[in-house]
Structure 1
Amino acid sequence: MLEANSRVIQSNQDGLHENLDAIVKKHLAQPFNKPFHDATLAAFYELRERVQQLGKPVIFDSCCGVGESSANLALRHPEALVVGMDKSAYRLNKHDDNYDKGADNLVLLRVDLNDLWRLAVADGWQLSHHYLLYPNPWPKSSHIKRRWHGAPVFPYLLMLGGKLEMRSNWPIYLQEFARALEIAGIDSQFAQLEFDGTDLTPFERKYRLSEQPLYQLTADLRGVELPWRSELVLPEPKG
């Protein structure tokens, strides 16, 4: 378990990145055509079959880490299928022993979100909710393109729709995301997070116990479209 000794984030940025607007506008103007990884393509088609069979609303818990947040969200949203996703098998493998809460509406997947988000958009998915609770903001100025709002997959995050909720202990990360949403014509709400008695993630617990403030950004992404969405084609499964 994480100990309450987290450091305050240090950055050479004291405000929004100077190139943020140009980066976001570039990505909004065109699709992201990077080839798909076979493993994520296969995982998507397995998930797609389950989603079609259940017929429930779908909630993404992206960058779920060990999946504690996913388990909490599955209990919070019994009407939906919660899909927790992370790129790290090491983190996901910790889930059963420490965070399994018995929810039967939860799926955990090891995937590349740069691929899975694009596949879901190409297939016309519209989420009920989308949670991005992992706080790693890549605080160096040179890492702007590694933050979700600076990455070429950002438009796909928007087109997945749903009620978006993000949390972080670095306010600039969320303020930049809010600006990226504004460029896309989307309103958002940014505020310090008030503790409601439940830590959704181990990181929230760690930061709270270290007496660091946490911040939250919410937005309604339902119905977001971009002109080039009609060009997207879902690739066939392999094998």
Structure 2
Amino acid sequence: MHQASRSISTSQAGPHEDLNRRVSRSLSHVWRKPIAEHTREAFQQAERWRETQGSRGLILDACCGVGMSTRKLAERFPEHCVIGVDRSADRLSRDHGALPDNALLVRADLVDFWRLAIAAEWQPERHYLLYPNPYPKSVQLKMRWQGHPVFPAIVGLGGRLEVRSNWRIYIEEFAIAIAQATGISAPLGPFDPDDDPLTHFERKYHDSGQPLWHLVVDLDYRPGLMPQSTEG
């Protein structure tokens, strides 16, 4: 029997009132955070691995946790190569089952990895954000990906972006941010994983009877959404 999972506790009744301002800022201000060296090295490793995959299309599995979703996506899309990225060495070291040859797990800081991917002109065909930390307190908006300075890089990579969460407001905010950045309406609605959840969180939330939400949207490749410094 799976342990029951707690629902999101938040004071927000709807999308954050400061979301539009934060998205506008991320689209107009150069973010000068230095790239962490360990992430630069991890990205170079991923680049070399991609070269061994020939002409396979790329799938990015962001915040992949223990790698269960990366393995399952690689099995579902054997004609693609799948790169799962997570910042936790502990999570990535756990038993996630044997990885197919078309899957790679990478330990890296996603905020840097996404920016390196934009700079390297990566164009994933599919891009997954499965149950990211919702940071549900109102003061934590800037820590949610839709309110984070790296948001333009997430959207700018293009491809079919799918975001899933057990908090509807998170998905609503993400859709609003996408529309503001691109003018594209991202359909959102309830989601049922049936008998094949992609992540442990998805299984836990579903077994606890929590409603799940997602958005799926096809985005153009727009690297110019991420403001770049003109220095040097």
Q: Structure 2 length normalisation: TM-score?
A: 0.93
Asked if the contact 2:153/2:226 (under 8 Å) is kept, the reply is no
What secondary structure is seen at the aligned counterpart in 2 of 1:54? coil
* 1:105 paired residue number: 102
* 2:66 paired residue number: 66
Q: CA deviation at 1:7?
A: 0.8
- Note the aligned Cα RMSD (angstroms): 1.8
Q: CA deviation at 1:220?
A: 1.0
Q: Distance in 1 between matches of 2:166 and 2:147?
A: 18
* 1:38 paired residue number: 37
Q: Distance in 1 between matches of 2:123 and 2:14?
A: 33
Asked if the contact 2:83/2:106 (under 8 Å) is kept, the reply is yes
Equivalences for residues 84-163 of structure 1 within 5 A: 84-94=84-94, 97=95, 99-163=96-160
Asked if the contact 1:164/1:220 (under 8 Å) is kept, the reply is yes
* 2:220 paired residue number: 222
Q: Distance in 2 between matches of 1:195 and 1:112?
A: 28
Classify 1:17/1:86 alpha carbon distance in 2 versus 1 (closer, same or farther; 3 Å).
same
Q: Distance in 2 between matches of 1:100 and 1:31?
A: 40
Q: Which runs of 5+ in 1 are unaligned?
A: 234-239
Per-residue CA distance 1:124-175 (angstroms, 9 max, x = gap): 1111100000242100000000000100000000111110011110000010
* 2:176 paired residue number: 179
Classify 1:130/1:230 alpha carbon distance in 2 versus 1 (closer, same or farther; 3 Å).
same
Asked if the contact 1:162/1:222 (under 8 Å) is kept, the reply is yes
How many residues are matched? 229
Classify 1:232/1:124 alpha carbon distance in 2 versus 1 (closer, same or farther; 3 Å).
farther
Q: Distance in 2 between matches of 1:181 and 1:83?
A: 23
* 1:237 paired residue number: none
Q: Distance in 2 between matches of 1:111 and 1:102?
A: 18
* 2:48 paired residue number: 49
Q: CA deviation at 1:197?
A: 2.3
Structure 1 stretch displaced more, 48-57 or 112-121: 48-57
Structure 1 stretch displaced more, 183-192 or 100-109: 100-109
Classify 1:105/1:161 alpha carbon distance in 2 versus 1 (closer, same or farther; 3 Å).
same
Q: Distance in 2 between matches of 1:225 and 1:43?
A: 21
* 1:236 paired residue number: none
Per-residue CA distance 1:33-85 (angstroms, 9 max, x = gap): 21010100011111112213323211110001011111100001111111111
Q: Distance in 1 between matches of 2:132 and 2:37?
A: 28
* 1:15 paired residue number: 14
Asked if the contact 1:135/1:203 (under 8 Å) is kept, the reply is no
Classify 1:54/1:173 alpha carbon distance in 2 versus 1 (closer, same or farther; 3 Å).
same
Matched letter for residue 75 of structure 1:
E
Q: Distance in 2 between matches of 1:102 and 1:136?
A: 25
* 1:202 paired residue number: 200
Asked if the contact 2:145/2:151 (under 8 Å) is kept, the reply is yes
Per-residue CA distance 1:60-112 (angstroms, 9 max, x = gap): 10001011111100001111111111111111111xx3x32441111001100
What secondary structure is seen at the aligned counterpart in 2 of 1:212? coil
Q: Distance in 1 between matches of 2:42 and 2:150?
A: 18
